[in-house]
Amino acid sequence: MNSNAEHSGRNSQFIAFLFEHCQKDKGFAARLRRASNPATEYQSWEILGAFGIDLENKHERQIFSFIAASLANSRAQTNGTLGLGKAITLCFQDGSNDKQAIARLRRLLACDSATEACRVLRPLVALIQARVTQTLDYEQLLNDLIWFGERTRARWAKQFFSSAEQEEA
């Protein structure tokens, strides 16, 4: 099995594990929510470490912490299918034509690293969770951040700008 497939399988299991345990154990979910704050992120390390996340690898730890905190803060019961680009358009009345939506997308696309993207995504995901009834695809978002680069940014932009065309069709 190649590295991509191994990571994809682990990521899928991680998302399923989080959904299952957040519903059963409110303390578990609370520890994960604390992962969004760098000062209290360590409280989620027990959960991340038990799942095989390399806690010494700051890059990996921050990505998994961000996804875990975002998922724990969501009202979702299961993983969704909503892509990030489309989700941003759904936050605003004018969708991909909204100046604020475009500004938020541009800021996200300007990120040079997954760590920076996580910082930019924190308030953006909170906005999506507050305004959009559909559930994000957390597994895809996790994969996007792990393999963050030009292809990821292009996918998000395509989802954002093609959503208006799809709605018209």
- Please state, rounded to an integer, the average pLDDT across all residues of the chain: 91
pLDDT of residue 1: 42
**pLDDT digits over 22-62, tens only?**
999 999 999 999 988 888 999 899 999 988 999 999 999 99
Q: CA 6, 68, 112: angle at the middle one, nearest 5?
A: 75
Residue 2: pLDDT over 80: no
pLDDT, tens digit, for every residue of 59-100? 999 999 999 999 999 989 999 999 999 999 999 999 999 999
> CA 65, CA 35: separation in Å to the nearest integer?
5
Q: Compute CA 16 distance to the chain's CA centroid, rounded to the nearest angstrom.
A: 14
Q: What percent of the chain has pLDDT over 90?
A: 80
Q: What domains, with CATH codes, occur in the chain?
A: 3-168 (1.10.520.40)
Q: Would the pLDDT of 168 be above 60?
A: no
Helix, strand, coil share of the chain (percent; to 5): 75, 0, 25
Tokens 């724990």, located at residue: 72
Residue 169, pLDDT score: 44
pLDDT at 9: 87
